[in-house]
């Protein structure tokens, strides 16, 4: 007589829960690697180093910078973003603080990450979303928390500013550094010095 065998329990069958968990971990790791590397700038190839990428010329007209915030301005807390870029929290915080305190610099420095598609027109837009009438920060922009290009541009501008470089010289140096980048925000030129 035929009887159906009872299902076996224990370790004799394939561990489907373990296999499913490992597959989920692999997918999560691939997503994390993709998102953390998508903000990195690619190493220049021989084709891009041989010829600078053609970009439209920077606008000549200048727009007034946001007012200089008062020395005792209180800033809102920085946003928390789960996928921080591979820069130390000190460098990221410093970029945000520089953007908050020096709109007269970063409002004339372009960004090269492609954020113009999000409505940004200067590197300052990557860090500060809005300001009060006195120039102090009303709201932060979270984009700078997760973009290596934005932070590196602001950090370079900060170092050049600390060395005494003019806004025009800062912009020239940063444009030269990113001359092979295919993207650039439509940033107004700094006022004549």
Task: Judge whether 61 lies within some domain.
Answer: no
Give, rounded to a whole angstrom, the gap between the first and last alpha carbons of the chain: 101
Task: Judge whether 2 lies within some domain.
Answer: no
**In angstroms, what is the C-alpha Rg of the chain?**
24
pLDDT computed for residue 50 by the predictor = 40
Helix axes 148-162, 89-101, angle to 10 degrees: 60
Task: Judge whether 179 lies within some domain.
Answer: yes
Q: For residues 120 and 138, give the distance between their C-alpha atoms in angstroms, rounded to a whole number.
A: 17
Task: Judge whether 120 lies within some domain.
Answer: yes
Question: Which domain range does residue 86 map to?
Answer: 77-193
Task: Judge whether 24 lies within some domain.
Answer: no
Residue ranges of the chain whose pLDDT lies below 50:
7, 9-11, 22, 26-27, 29-31, 33-52, 60-61
pLDDT computed for residue 89 by the predictor = 85
Number of structural domains the chain divides into: 1
Which residues are within 8 A (CB) of 35 and not within 5 positions of it... i.e. 6 or more apart?
A: 83
Task: Judge whether 87 lies within some domain.
Answer: yes
Q: What are the tens digits of pLDDT across the range 120-175?
A: 999 999 999 999 999 999 999 999 988 999 999 999 999 999 999 999 999 999 99
Task: Judge whether 33 lies within some domain.
Answer: no
pLDDT computed for residue 78 by the predictor = 73
Task: Judge whether 150 lies within some domain.
Answer: yes
pLDDT computed for residue 102 by the predictor = 95
pLDDT computed for residue 40 by the predictor = 43
């Amino acid at each position: 007589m035929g009887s159906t065998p009872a299902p076996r329990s224990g370790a004799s069958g394939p561990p489907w829960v373990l296999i499913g968990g490992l597959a989920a971990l692999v997918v999560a790791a691939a997503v994390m690697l993709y998102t953390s590397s998508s903000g990195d700038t690619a190493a220049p190839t021989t084709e891009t180093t041989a010829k600078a990428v053609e970009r439209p010329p920077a606008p000549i007209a200048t727009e007034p910078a946001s007012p200089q915030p008062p020395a005792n301005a209180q800033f809102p807390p920085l946003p928390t973003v789960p996928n921080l870029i591979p820069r130390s929290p000190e460098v990221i915080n410093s970029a945000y603080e520089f953007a908050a305190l020096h709109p007269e610099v970063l409002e004339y420095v372009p960004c090269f990450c492609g954020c113009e598609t999000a409505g940004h027109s200067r590197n300052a837009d990557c860090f500060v979303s809005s300001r009060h009438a006195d120039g102090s920060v009303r709201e932060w922009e979270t984009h700078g928390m997760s973009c290596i290009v934005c932070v590196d541009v602001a950090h370079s501008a900060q170092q050049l500013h600390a060395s005494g470089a003019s806004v025009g010289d800062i912009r020239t140096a940063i444009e030269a550094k990113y001359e092979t980048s295919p993207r650039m925000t439509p940033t107004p030129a700094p006022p004549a010095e």
